[in-house]
Structure 1
């Protein structure tokens, strides 16, 4: 229905948000032809200016915002004389002052509305420093007869916040006051219609359709900032949504009035929220670069891959003993405290610190050991033998080290008095019941599994393993160890890399230079993604490239990186295909740098790029501007040395190296001792 979908997560911030992207700010996802891009804005003025530019492009556009575009019944009629949400927009546009620096008068407007109504409220919530006596600081004192707490549509989405709240966590009222005033100005466009306030519950026909959304209806897409993930998920849901989303609420018995006076949330039907509709596994042009881009910077390539790589794996529950290397599918909290009760951290003697007065300390009979709690109470000024891990008996709060005490017939003699509480562990010192343990997307290491067990988990929900096939092509390729031809280095190497990343690596074999044989092998792959080497260049004799171009989709990227300039990205029956260079060094580098983060995101682990560290160079080099260079390297005596040759045909360099030196796009002159960025193979998941 739409060429362009814009999803805005609005903000009522009173000052510009930080230069670095953050939550509780303005995030907008633009979805166009299956390609998603996200934008972060520091001010509402900047966001609206950007939106205006998008609307001026002439595309059929669905423009959506995440704040209430109407208020509960009664308010619009009281303030404007018309029971119409759009009349209230116009009234707010006259009252609201919202500067280019985000400075605004929303709290004063909230108080003015309260003063015009009988009773106290309905708006509430304000910063403590504001002297606004008619704007209650809390909801507890709100008492007025005119308006309901929620709109009808909000009663179908229980987690939606009431629009009357103007401050504190979860507030949405401030966004609505400022947002509706801004929408009144956007509505001046003659080719824009507001759903459902202007269109009713019918499929809109205007070039620009403005509608309200609620991003929390669906789980957010993987992203460093949840708000960004929510707008992406909502854009995907709207792209796949059937036309009935616009018309189904019409069966509500009060539909006509609700549409005009209160509005509605797109994505909620007459009985509640719709499930997110199934979207195409990967959009047909998801790998397309921006128009006019020929040489692709590494960062642009990575950003495009990130936007195009959806999670495709399922969920299964496994025993913790089988969870190492798997991807956690949910946040988990502690089911038990660790330790479950206060216990001894050492072997020694336990007593109540405040009861000792010096001299020999009487020793009670028995002992406390791990798993063998002492059943009685240790009297004041007495000591008990206690072993590491034993629960502290009643009457014990301190433990003296075994080597700092001597037990004799006349009692215990302490060489030195420990501090109160010494050598003990408090109950829940590590984690308390209900405390966070591990986050969704964690690639579980042995230590993570140990923590989960300590926190009371015997099974974990994990992602099913991403199935990634590897296919080599070309009549010139021969099996390892065979005579003649070119040995198939890439397929075994890539399969080993995939297995090391925790995926189910599937050997798809070697395809000859025959299009129909190759098509049949791709059809039978039954994988979530495919890595190929060879046959993916742009020439007419490259069978894989031609096959993807005619029966699937194909985009050739000339990435500004050395080694590994050519990279083909395509789809075969909705399955992503990464066409790696045939040169083993370039195939290794492109798989580690480009395929790995995309595959990890598809697997449910989120987008992961290496951080690296700055180390002194043990080499000298000059490079020209225009290409990023990834030099095979290793650390020796704290400095990075590089392989003897940059020739990408020297496979021995992959065995010699233990990582990469990453030189940026700019021209550079590196001398020995200069700082350079080093990324180890271990950080790239390569053993």
Structure 2
């Protein structure tokens, strides 16, 4: 199955009953809004100065007529209305006094003392009316919809919500994701390696990727290459909202995940035209969605980012789950067209005419260091060759966070 078709089917099926909870804004990073948010205030609430300088009525300006400075206004202070024919010293962020409508920056003025009458303001450059003034509601207007339901909250959204006085938000409850690693060869880090064993890196890759998405994890550890053990693990995994496994979905005699899935649920599709990650599997276990990743560590990373992540975000209620990408020149060549859509571990590096993409020399699905070395993926379509300088699609890793 082509990657695009598989992703279309996955997203069409990414439905999970989502409860709603109210949480403090300080705990809302990465969470998904469950309702629209409208502002109950104007931001800013009143006209204020964008500069350190002097405010006055524009109609009082005359090149040959200095204005007496009779007030000093700091941010947070409440000022008296500005008298006609006068000016006020004002600082950045301070609210303009009533009747003032223009601010001139201090660098464009000369202030002289005039005995008992106090300082006089001479404006050196002809001003424009309302210059250096932030009008009331410039950023956000009263009753304006600030954020839509389905928005995943980043630090800038937290600040935006705080700017309208919001201290708690309604969000969808976190998805609970069960993860399991299959393979008799696997042991956990910290134990001595015996002959035939390897450390279980996939568990830690998946935990990190899931925590980046702010999801809860039910960690089932390592499952032996045994059909009954696999069936028992899948049964326990149905306590979660979705199951993600690594390994056991290929065609070997010791790969039991596919068989267990067919016995305990249903298999929607198996095998994709993708490299790395061909054995990717999707189905359901007693109604619980199941995403089966390959066992090779680089393939786990790639298929999670491209296929699991958008499924999880949509099921979590997010309205935006497509990764950003860009077109950049290739610093490599591929002379033999492939029969599967390839995702090469790559990185952007400076070139003579801007950045270009270079790829890790060993693209084996077992070489996880290729993912750590790079900062993104280069997509190569089926039956496509690439010459140096050709434009290729680059997907930064930051798009998957």
Query: TM-score, normalising length from structure 2?
Result: 0.92
Q: In the alignment, which of 221, 224, 228 is matched to residue 512 of structure 1?
A: 224
Q: Distance in 1 between matches of 2:325 and 2:167?
A: 35
1:360 Cα offset (Å): 4.7
Distance in 1 (alpha carbons) for counterparts of 2:187 and 2:228: 20
Is it true that 1:336 corresponds to 2:41 in the alignment?
yes
Is 2:396 the counterpart of 1:680? yes
1:209-608 alignment, distance < 5 Å: 296-374=1-79, 376-410=80-114, 411-482=120-191, 483-484=193-194, 485-525=197-237, 526-538=239-251, 541-606=254-319, 608=321
1:300 deviation in Å?
0.8
Q: Cα distance, 1:538 vs. partner?
A: 4.7
Deviation at 1:539, TM superposition (A): 5.3
Gaps of 5+ in 2: 115-119
Report the 3-state secondary structure (helix = DSSP H, G, I; strand = E; otherwise coil) of the residue aligned with 1:566. Answer: coil
Aligned counterpart in structure 2 of residue 613 of structure 1, from 303, 306, 326? 326
User: What do the CA deviations read for 1:446-499 (whole angstroms, capped 9, x no partner)?
Assistant: 111111111232211111111112101122211124312121111111111111
The SS at the match of 1:449 is helix
Write the deviation string for residues 413-460 of structure 1: whole angstroms up to 9, x where unpaired: 222232111110000011101112111111111111111111232211
Which structure is higher in strand share? 2
Q: 2:381 aligns with which of 661, 664, 673?
A: 664
Whole-angstrom CA distance in 2 between matches of 1:385 and 1:497: 53
Question: Contact 2:176–2:215 (CA<8 Å) still a contact in 1?
Answer: yes
Question: Would the alpha carbon gap of residues 378 and 542 (structure 1) be closer, same or farther in structure 2, given more than 3 Å must change?
Answer: same
Indicate how the Cα distance of structure 1 residues 607 and 537 shifts in structure 2: closer, same or farther if over 3 A, else same: farther
- Give the corresponding residue for 1:632: 345
Aligned-partner Cα distance in 2 for 1:487–1:608: 32
Contact 2:178/2:217, CA 8 A, preserved across alignment: yes
Cα distance in 2 for partners of 1:556, 1:397 equals 66
What residue number does 1:655 align with? 372
1:468–1:530 Cα contact (<8 Å) kept: yes
Deviation at 1:317, TM superposition (A): 1.1
1:115-151 CA deviation, whole Å, 9 max, x = no partner?
xxxxxxxxxxxxxxxxxxxxxxxxxxxxxxxxxxxxx
Q: CA deviation at 1:643?
A: 0.7
Deviation per CA, 1:331-390, whole angstroms, max 9, x where unpaired? 21111111011111111111001122233534353322221120x221222101111111
1:313, CA displacement in angstroms?
2.5
Could you say what secondary structure the match of 2:335 adopts?
strand
Bigger shift: residues 487-496 or 449-458: 449-458
**Given that residues 556 and 566 in structure 1 are in contact (C-alpha distance below 8 angstroms), is that contact kept between their aligned partners in structure 2?**
no
Q: CA deviation at 1:517?
A: 3.8
Distance in 1 (CA, whole Å) between partners of 2:217 and 2:395 is: 24
Distance in 1 separating the partners of 2:27 and 2:162: 12
8 Å CA contact 1:567–1:579 kept in 2: the answer is yes
Question: C-alpha distance in 1, partners of 2:15/2:375?
Answer: 31
Higher relative contact order (CA closer than 8 Å, sequence separation 6+): 2
Contact 1:348 1:399 in 2 (8 A): yes
Answer whether contact 2:69 2:121 (CA < 8 A) is retained.
no
Work out whether residues 598 and 607 of structure 1, in 8 Å CA contact, stay in contact via their aligned partners in 2: no
Partners of 2:260 and 2:242 lie apart in 1 by 16
Q: Size of the alignment, in residue pairs?
A: 388
1:669 aligned counterpart, secondary structure: coil
> Deviation of residue 625 (structure 1)?
5.2
Q: Give the CA RMSD over aligned residues.
A: 1.7
TM-score in terms of structure 1 length: 0.55
Measured in 1, the distance between the counterparts of 2:320 and 2:201 equals 28
Distance in 1 (CA, whole Å) between partners of 2:113 and 2:147 is: 51
Superposition deviation, residue 556 in structure 1:
4.2
CA–CA distance in structure 2, aligned partners of residues 607 and 350 of structure 1: 44
CA contact (8 A) 1:367 1:385 kept: yes
